[in-house]
């Protein structure tokens, strides 16, 4: 899922996203609640009418901002008190408020409010976060009134398998339409994350979507699918694209490097996106050095196309029984290009 934090995948139109294969996008409850406000989005017809995206939309709960804006919030058993990162205004977010905002936004999939602890964390910290996450998920289920929105629960527990499985067991008892793994890719070693997923993902309900939140390195996606994960989102394709990093089959290219000055080849000769069909590496490098906005737009578009092609490749590997070989191939080529991340 490409990430449209404030209702827009930066620099890209809905038509461009559809052209490269996007079927669902993500938006952010916390940020949209601040600007323009959930009531504004509701009064303008909901997110689909508001941003022109007529496919499915998923909104997160705002729980991740408990982690990412830790210096601006105070957590208690009932919710989180925020200080707006925009103007310092006070804001309270809890299970009921998060669901109210998401119902006004009108997304198709909404997320239960949760606590995402920073890693590494003491066992007591993880257990407290999981207790809150379970309680808040139950509250979210109970206050939700719209039948046209699917509520997903979020499994927390850091890298502790026992705590993760305890959280999962409690959430499964709520019989929600889908389940997510949260609280990973927050500073831990990627192999630790993979080990955690290998222990937890296959224990999630097999007949409901399994969603890994905020994980975006291609090698991590491949490993996670092998563990049993179905859905992903991350800002990495577009954020890296805006900063001149292009994902290709040959590795990651940093287009500001001088070696691309006279390079007349496409970003990725195996890619058929508009960027690769139209522009050379040398031209794209020029756009970044000249601060022309077309450069970040085109590389962001290409990166999203690359991720969709990766997912299609994974699907083919599953169907042909070659997933193990795909993981091995990706791991053998992990450190390639100008920047491996």
Quote the tokens at residue 109: 């999939």
Rounded distance between C-alpha atoms, residue 213 and residue 64, angstroms: 10
Choice among 114, 220, 233, 268 that is catalytic: 233
Quote the tokens at residue 34: 């601040």
User: Backbone phi, then psi, for 59, in 5-degree steps?
Assistant: -115, 135
Choice among 60, 94, 114, 268 that is catalytic: 60
Tell me the CA distances in angstroms from 331 to 159, 224, 239, 326, 337, one per residue in order: 22, 13, 23, 9, 14
1: nearest Cα among 101, 86, 111: 111
Rounded distance between C-alpha atoms, residue 85 and residue 56, angstroms: 28
Active site residue 233: yes
Active site residue 60: yes
User: Backbone phi, then psi, for 267, in 5-degree steps?
Assistant: -50, -50
Rounded distance between C-alpha atoms, residue 42 and residue 50, angstroms: 9
Rounded distance between C-alpha atoms, residue 255 and residue 261, angstroms: 9
| Residues taking part in catalysis | 60, 233
């Amino acid at each position: 899922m490409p990430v449209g934090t404030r209702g827009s995948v930066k620099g890209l139109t809905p038509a461009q996203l559809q052209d490269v294969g996007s079927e669902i996008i993500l938006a952010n409850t916390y940020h949209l609640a601040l600007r323009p406000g959930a009531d504004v989005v509701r009064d303008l017809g909901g997110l689909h009418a508001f941003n022109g995206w007529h496919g499915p939309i998923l909104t997160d709960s705002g729980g991740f901002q408990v982690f990412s804006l830790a210096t601006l919030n105070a957590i208690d058993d009932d919710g989180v008190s925020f200080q707006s990162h925009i103007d310092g205004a006070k804001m309270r977010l809890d299970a009921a408020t998060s669901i109210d905002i998401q119902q006004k936004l009108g997304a198709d999939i909404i997320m239960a409010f949760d606590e995402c602890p920073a890693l590494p964390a003491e066992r007591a910290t993880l257990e407290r976060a999981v207790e809150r996450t379970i309680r808040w998920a139950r509250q979210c289920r109970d206050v939700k009134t719209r039948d046209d929105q699917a509520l997903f629960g979020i499994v927390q527990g850091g890298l502790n398998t026992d705590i993760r499985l305890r959280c999962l067991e409690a959430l499964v008892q709520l019989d929600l339409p889908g389940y997510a793994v949260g609280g990973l890719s927050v500073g831990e070693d990627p192999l630790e994350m993979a080990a955690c997923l290998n222990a937890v993902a296959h224990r999630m309900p097999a007949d409901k979507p399994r969603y890994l939140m905020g994980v975006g390195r291609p090698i991590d996606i491949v490993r996670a699918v092998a563990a049993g994960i179905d859905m992903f989102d991350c800002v990495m394709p577009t954020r890296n694209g805006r900063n001149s990093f292009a994902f290709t089959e040959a590795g990651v290219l940093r287009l500001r490097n001088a070696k691309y000055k006279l390079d007349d080849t496409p970003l990725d000769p195996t890619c058929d996106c508009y960027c690769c069909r139209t522009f050379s590496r040398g031209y794209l490098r020029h756009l970044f050095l000249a601060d022309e906005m077309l450069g970040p737009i085109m590389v962001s578009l290409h990166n999203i196309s690359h991720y969709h092609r990766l997912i299609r490749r994974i699907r083919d590997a599953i169907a042909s029984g070659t997933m193990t070989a795909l993981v091995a191939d990706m791991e053998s080529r992990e450190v390639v290009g100008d920047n491996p991340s």
